[in-house]
């Protein structure tokens, strides 16, 4: 049954939230595209720099995972700083630093320098994703956040659409330019947009609705009323402090599943170029275009899942269904070991399911926690996930060097993700507020 707040949303208020969405979501979407391009270009750069830096798959896996060590150490503090000081100085710091460290990767001359710089990129970028999710809780009611989050998270597959062909083009056409290898040019050219967007973020964004001079006083009042009407953003137990959120057992179900998901997502994003090359895709340009094509179809699949979830006012089976499909495709990847078409098909389905899971997963904890607990709870779950980002590439690289195949590691990660969906499903069954289910399709932005 819908609450009176949900029944009385006026057309004017729907237009107000649509205007807010158009004001902030496209810009943050662009920032996230740049973040993911900068984070994942290492998957393409490795096709050249492994020979230049004299490193193997195991060393690369550890180096790739070092980025997430920076995440783990700095993500929660960064989110708490955003909650206290606002998004403008937080994004300025995050984006300027990650742009500088990404560009500096071009000048790494050995594995130790590469380890250190990947760690610094992760430390700089820590807090961006959970910070934006927290920022959305200031602007949009719970029932609108599924669609808003899915539109924002769509930047992840879009970064694949842009990043794959762009990386292949830079590494091919700029190889030798200014005395630099293609992979060095890649890091330099793709680090510059972060510097520009960091400055724009400081100028363009408002920290909270009450600071937005592009809203009238009445509009700011309506946003405050709809976003947190009489404390309705509380979860079932209403934790209001970060320490209480950490005592809540629900957070550990979220964190375990997100850790397993991160292992799968990270493997998918960092090893798509390598998998395509291993099954016989020869040139960098062909790898880039195939990666981009996979990302296009994955984007459409993610949007279909997200809008279906909102339309049917259902989260539980959409989230777990995406997880089951993603895990299963990882287990089945050996079927395409010697076949380009089967590998591309499995990667396409897996990508759509992975991104669909990500878009819907975060609507649940962001609605469960509130206030300071939202800042700490969201960042804590994300930080535990980052442990998966550290573990996954190191595990895959070690298995590849030990067995000569990626598929044993990928299958293991798929099984682990599948098992982690059980406590998530039970947690959503127990804890998801009925008002979230009732209001999911009430309106859109």
pLDDT recorded at residue 190: 93
Residue-number span of the structural domain to which 36 is assigned: 11-227+241-439
pLDDT digits (tens, 9 = 90+) for 22-36: 999 999 999 999 998
Q: Let me know if 346 is exposed, middle or buried by CB neighbors in 10 A (0-12, 13-18, 19+).
A: buried
CA distances to 143, 164, 289 from 309, rounded to whole Å, are 11, 29, 30
CA distances to 89, 110, 137, 378 from 79, rounded to whole Å, are 12, 33, 13, 9
Eight-state DSSP code of residue 241? S
SS3 content of the chain, % helix, strand, coil (to 5): 85, 0, 15
Q: Is residue 6 part of a domain?
A: no
Could you give the percent of the chain with pLDDT greater than 90? 27
Q: Residues 1, 438: contact at Cβ < 8 Å?
A: yes
Rg (Cα) of the chain, in Å, rounded? Answer: 21
pLDDT digits (tens, 9 = 90+) for 362-399: 777 766 665 555 556 776 787 788 788 888 888 988 88
pLDDT recorded at residue 236: 40
Helix residue spans in 181-283 (DSSP H) = 182-204, 217-227, 242-247, 250-278
Cα gap 240→432, rounded to integer Å: 17
pLDDT recorded at residue 245: 57
| Helices and strands, number each (H, E), in the chain | 20, 0
Predicted confidence (pLDDT) at residue 158 exceeds the cutoff of 80: yes
Q: Is residue 445 part of a domain?
A: no
Closest CA to 393 of 255, 281, 275, 264: 264
Q: Is residue 327 part of a domain?
A: yes
pLDDT recorded at residue 105: 92
Cα gap 222→10, rounded to integer Å: 11
Q: Is residue 337 part of a domain?
A: yes
pLDDT recorded at residue 291: 85
Please count the structural domains in the chain: 1
HSE-up of residue 21 (Cα within 13 Å, Cβ side) = 20
**Choice between 299 and 247, residue whose per-residue pLDDT is larger:** 299
Cα gap 116→227, rounded to integer Å: 41
In DSSP notation, 91-152 reads HHHHHHHHHHHHHHGGG--SHHHHHHHHHHHHHHHTTHHHHHHHHHHHHS-HHHHHHHHHHH
Q: Is residue 4 part of a domain?
A: no
pLDDT digits (tens, 9 = 90+) for 202-255: 999 999 998 889 988 888 888 888 886 644 444 444 344 456 556 667 788 888
pLDDT recorded at residue 232: 46
57-66, 157-166, 344-353, 354-363, range with greatest mean pLDDT: 344-353
Give the pair of three-digit tokens for residue 372.
């300071």
- CATH classification at residue 411: 1.20.1250.20
Closest CA to 424 of 259, 303, 239: 259
How confident is the model over 153-168, as a mean pLDDT? 85
Q: Is residue 76 part of a domain?
A: yes
Least confident of 12-21, 185-194, 427-436: 427-436
Cα gap 437→374, rounded to integer Å: 20
86-122 CB burial, b ≥16 within 10 A, e <16: bbbebbbbbbbbbbebbbbbbebeebeebbebbbbbb
CA distances to 16, 60, 185, 186, 382 from 104, rounded to whole Å, are 43, 17, 11, 11, 26
Give the pair of three-digit tokens for residue 263.
């292992």
Q: Residues 151, 362: contact at Cβ < 8 Å?
A: no
- 3-state SS assignment for residue 406: coil
Q: Residues 89, 203: contact at Cβ < 8 Å?
A: no
Q: Is residue 233 part of a domain?
A: no
Closest CA to 155 of 186, 128, 188: 128
How confident is the model over 5-13, as a mean pLDDT? 60
Q: Is residue 266 part of a domain?
A: yes
Cα gap 185→170, rounded to integer Å: 7
Eight-state DSSP code of residue 175? T
In this prediction, residue 322 has a pLDDT band, given cuts at 50, 70 and 90, of very high
pLDDT recorded at residue 6: 43
Predicted confidence (pLDDT) at residue 47 exceeds the cutoff of 70: yes
pLDDT recorded at residue 370: 57
**Choice between 5 and 307, residue whose per-residue pLDDT is larger:** 307
Contacts of residue 225, Cβ cutoff 8 Å, sequence gap at least 6? none
Contacts of residue 208, Cβ cutoff 8 Å, sequence gap at least 6? 86, 138
Task: Give the pTM.
Answer: 0.76
Give the pair of three-digit tokens for residue 132.
């934006």
Place of tokens 């994300």: 382
């Amino acid at each position: 049954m819908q609450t009176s707040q949900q029944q009385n949303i006026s057309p004017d208020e729907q237009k107000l939230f649509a205007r807010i969405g158009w004001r902030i979501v496209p810009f943050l979407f662009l920032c996230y595209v740049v973040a993911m391009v900068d984070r994942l270009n290492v998957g393409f750069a490795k096709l050249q720099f492994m020979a230049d830096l004299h490193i193997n798959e195991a060393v690369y896996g550890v180096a790739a995972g070092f980025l997430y060590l920076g995440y783990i150490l700095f993500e929660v503090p960064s989110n708490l700083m955003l909650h206290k000081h606002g998004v403008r100085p937080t994004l300025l710091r995050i984006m300027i630093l990650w742009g500088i460290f990404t560009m500096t990767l071009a000048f790494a001359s050995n594995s130790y320098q590469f380890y250190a710089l990947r760690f610094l990129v992760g430390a700089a970028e820590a807090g961006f994703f959970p910070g934006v999710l927290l920022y959305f809780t200031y602007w949009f009611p719970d029932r609108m956040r599924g669609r808003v989050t899915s539109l924002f998270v769509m930047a992840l597959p879009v970064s694949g659409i842009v990043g794959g062909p762009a990386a292949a083009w830079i590494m091919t056409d700029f190889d030798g330019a200014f005395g630099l290898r293609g992979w060095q040019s890649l890091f330099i050219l793709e680090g510059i947009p972060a510097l520009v967007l960091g400055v724009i973020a400081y100028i363009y964004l408002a920290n909270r609705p009450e600071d937005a001079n592009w809203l009238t006083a009445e509009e700011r009042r309506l946003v405050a009323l709809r976003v947190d009407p009489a404390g309705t953003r509380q979860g079932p137990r209403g934790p209001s402090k970060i320490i209480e959120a950490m005592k809540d057992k629900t957070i550990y179900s979220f964190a375990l599943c997100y850790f397993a998901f991160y292992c799968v997502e990270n493997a998918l994003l960092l090893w798509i170029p390598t998998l395509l090359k291993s099954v016989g895709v020869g040139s960098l340009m062909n790898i880039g275009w195939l990666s981009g094509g996979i990302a296009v179809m994955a984007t459409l699949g993610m949007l279909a899942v997200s809008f279906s979830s909102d339309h049917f006012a259902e989260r539980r089976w959409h989230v777990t269904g995406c997880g089951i499909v993603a895990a299963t495709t990882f287990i089945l990847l050996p079927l395409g070991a010697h076949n380009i078409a089967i590998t591309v098909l499995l990667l396409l389905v897996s990508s759509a399911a992975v991104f669909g899971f990500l878009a819907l997963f975060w609507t649940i904890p962001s609605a469960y926690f509130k206030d300071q607990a939202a800042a700490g709870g969201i960042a804590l779950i994300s930080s535990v996930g980052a442990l998966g980002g550290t573990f996954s590439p190191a595990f895959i690289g070690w298995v590849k060097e030990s067995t000569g195949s990626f598929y044993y590691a990928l299958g293991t990660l798929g099984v682990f993700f599948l098992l982690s969906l059980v406590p998530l499903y039970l947690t959503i069954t127990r804890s998801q507020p009925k008002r979230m289910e009732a209001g999911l399709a009430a309106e859109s932005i």
